Amino acid sequence: MLIRVADSRCRILHWMITTDRRFRESYRIQRHLRRRNCSMNRHHSLNLPIANHAAWLPIFLLALGIVAYTASSAYALISIGTLSKPQAKDKYGITMHARKNGDAGIQVWLEFKQEGWLEKFTYAELRVQDEYGKHLVSAKLEPRPVKHGQPDEMTSVSFSAAPDQLKNCSFLVVCYNSNEGDVGYYLHVKDFLDLNHWVKEK
């Protein structure tokens, strides 16, 4: 089941656009009344002088451009779903693996080829929640080879955690502008690995 959720950057972008429009409208009113040698009444008063107000406009436009650039994929809603082990492997070719990683605990990683839906692979995150399902931690995962001699066409993302925390960990894989639209899927570690035998798959 997919759930539509809004990216928080969209709300920031909307606030900046609205604020900039208000500044533009107030400046237009001031300029119009100034030409007619009228003073601003209390309904159109500003705390900033006209000169200072005009100076703010380029700043807001610059900030707006930066947000639009960094959040270019955030204009639309994102569909979020959950993949089971059979769905991940059969439909998308995603597999999950684990091995001991010294003092870091257990290393868990995903392997997949960037084809089909994953051709537009955008990013992956580690998500950690408590035993009640409350969100605790999220962190971006950089794609990098996990095994020596890993084929170039194979992409992998990984994290390491204490064995008793794996049941609370999930991957979130997101693809923007894919053949399914802007979609992300959760892959819960407990659904893919036998947590009683940390380095063995179910």
The pLDDT tens digits for 66-98 are 655 555 544 457 899 999 999 999 999 999 999
Q: Report the pLDDT value the prediction gives residue 4, as an integer from 0 to 100.
A: 53
Q: Are 139 and 124 in contact (CB under 8 A)?
A: no
Q: What CATH code is assigned to 78-192? A: 2.60.40
Cα 66 to Cα 9: distance, rounded to the nearest angstrom: 12
The pLDDT tens digits for 6-34 are 554 555 545 555 555 665 666 666 666 66
The pLDDT tens digits for 143-178 are 999 988 889 999 999 999 999 999 999 999 999 999
Cα 112 to Cα 93: distance, rounded to the nearest angstrom: 6
